[in-house]
A and B are shown apart, each in its own frame.
Chain A
Amino acid sequence: AQKVTQAQTEISVVEKEDVTLDCVYETRDTTYYLFWYKQPPSGELVFLIRRNSFDEQNEISGRYSWNFQKSTSSFNFTITASQVVDSAVYFCALSVKSNYQLIWGAGTKLIIKP
């Protein structure tokens, strides 16, 4: 069975601080995909990134970066120089090749204070 754990229920930081959201996953499949989605107060889930299990390269996109480590089954997300607009709930999710359904973490609510 697959599982995604986001242990941080809520994080609150002051604007311009860096913040890391943790995601730990479990799967026995050798081919799998990891995702991060952002859900602002408006409710729409916004796709941020997808990572394939065979590609452990870390990725940077502007102020966002992702650290994928198979050795610790983690796929952490860092926001550098956070801004108020980053305030949202962030979900980590997993899918496996045998069944592409998304397995969701519980989400981390990120609050960026001005």
Chain B
Amino acid sequence: NAGVTQTPKFQVLKTGQSMTLQCAQDMNHNSMYWYRQDPGMGLRLIYYSASEGTTDKGEVPNGYNVSRLNKREFSLRLESAAPSQTSVYFCASSEALNNEKLFFGSGTQLSVL
């Protein structure tokens, strides 16, 4: 039982390049999330998916897109990376949106030069 798996663990991009961060969970959770963690800012929600087939914007969605491919997988895409997107990205999941504990992946450290 792997929990929440994110790939890649590290990535360096040049400004303007695109990439997709992958996330998969094996706990049969309905809800999945993407957060970014920055020094002095804490964790901030980028996008979330309450259930398969739905996605919604979080606190800081600009510059990102997401896809809930199926119940297990939730990907985050940067279409044209900017230095301001240098951050550590975490995927998380929970049984349901409310009143539930979150389970986090180990993170992706992204640097945009």
A binds B: no
A interface residues (Cβ-Cβ under 8 A, vs B): none
B interface residues (Cβ-Cβ under 8 A, vs A): none
